[in-house]
Amino acid sequence: MKVITTVKELRSTIAALRSPGKSIGFVPTMGFLHEGHLSLIRQASSENSLVVVSIFVNPIQFGPQEDFASYPRNLEQDCRLAKAAGAQIIFAPAVEEMYPQPILTFVDVKNLGNPLCGQSRPGHFRGVCTVVNKLLNIVQPDKAYFGEKDAQQLAIIQQMVYDLNIPVEIIPVPIQREESGLAMSSRNTYLTPEERASAAVLYQSLQKAKELFESGERSSGIIKDTMTGIIRSVPHACIDYIEISDPYSLTPLAQIDRSALIALAVRFGKTRLIDNLTLAEEE
């Protein structure tokens, strides 16, 4: 496995390996890899001849008060894990390599970045779209893998790829969870043991929502109220949002009359966690 830090070397390495009939899978990450990331890499490895993983904590998607400086990093461990999961190339550029000059060009997907996480993280998705666009241009993969854990990000990236005719297939990968149901996240390392125990309530609330939906409930208000009650019953939980939306346009649904995304963000102490579940009518 090769660890590459410059755009120039990455381009020449991929160019030398690219050939007709050989597909390139790409997994963009911010590192501190866990089973969630590894499931993306394993799937990419099973579907492509070459797998490129990027590890880059992207400063322009963090707000001024957010955790860019303290975000967990461990490149050596990441390389070991990514290699074992099937990656051949790690691209780990420094910030100055990705942004050698103040950036003047941004990619912004209108509307979709405003609701849900966009409310408390203004500019976040603009930063995500800009870096993903740059990475897709640098790697030029056939397929790029994104976790359903970040459902809003996935919807926005799919819209960006469609709108800008980017020649890549976006592959969504299901959420990997700990035994407690807590969605795996690099930020889970911030949680105290008590907060981690409380955070299992997020998945429980989503499961309850699914149960209500399956027993015929279609009122978003009733489902959200029930989830709020469950989450508020544990210590340390402070709800940022719970929303039920159209999974593509991300507009809120008062009545669940089509497939729907239930998404939430909840703070436990200084850690903000997100999770989601998609509801779909049985065929």
Question: Is 150 a residue that touches ligand AMP (CB under 6 A)?
Answer: yes
| Paired strand residues for 237 | 268
Tokens of 154: 């996935």
Decide whether 2 or 177 has the Cβ nearer to ligand AMP: 177
> Residue 197: which residues within 8 A CB-CB, separation 6 or more?
180
Q: What string marks each residue from 159 to 178 as x (binds ligand AMP by CB under 6 A) or -?
A: --------------x-xx--
Q: Nearest distance from residue 257's CB to ligand AMP, in Å?
A: 28
User: Would you count residue 185 as binding ligand AMP (CB under 6 A)?
Assistant: yes
Task: Return the SS3 of 93.
Answer: coil
Tokens (6 digits) for 257 = 């009359």
In this structure, are residues 73 and 32 in contact, taking their beta carbons and an 8 Å threshold? yes
Candidate segments 10-18, 144-152, 161-169, 198-206, binder of ligand AMP by CB under 6 A: 144-152
Binding flags for ligand AMP, 13-42, as an x/- string (CB under 6 A): ----------------xx-----xx-xx--
**Residue number, 44 or 212, with CB nearest to ligand AMP:** 44
Question: Smaller CB distance to ligand AMP: residue 93 or 224?
Answer: 93
Q: Which is nearer to ligand AMP, 14 or 175 (CB)?
A: 175
Q: Is 37 a residue of the active site?
A: yes
Q: Which is nearer to ligand AMP, 175 or 191 (CB)?
A: 175
Cβ at position 272, least distance to ligand AMP in Å: 13
Q: Residue 31, class by beta-carbon neighbours within 10 Å (0-12 exposed, 13-18 middle, 19+ buried)?
A: buried
The DSSP element (H or E) to which 276 belongs, if any, is: strand 271-279
Strand partners, 273: 266
CA distance 120 to 115: 9
Given a contact cutoff of 8 angstroms between Cβ atoms, the answer to whether 51 and 86 are in contact is yes
Site string for ligand AMP, 59-98 (x = CB under 6 A): ----------------------------------------
Applying CB under 6 A, does 43 fall inside the site for ligand AMP? no
Least distance in angstroms from the C-beta of 39 to ligand AMP: 6
Report the chain's C-alpha Rg in angstroms: 19
CA distances from 41 to 89, 168, 233 (A): 11, 17, 37
**Residues listed for the chain:** 283
**Which of residues 79, 183, 230, 260 is near ligand AMP by CB under 6 A?**
183
Q: Closer to ligand AMP by CB, 4 or 40: give it.
A: 40
Strand order across the 271-279 sheet: 237-245, 260-268, 271-279
Q: Are 167 and 203 in contact (CB under 8 A)?
A: no
- Catalytic sites, residue numbers: 37
Rule CB under 6 A: which residues touch ligand AMP?
29-30, 36-37, 39-40, 146-147, 149-150, 173, 175-176, 183-186
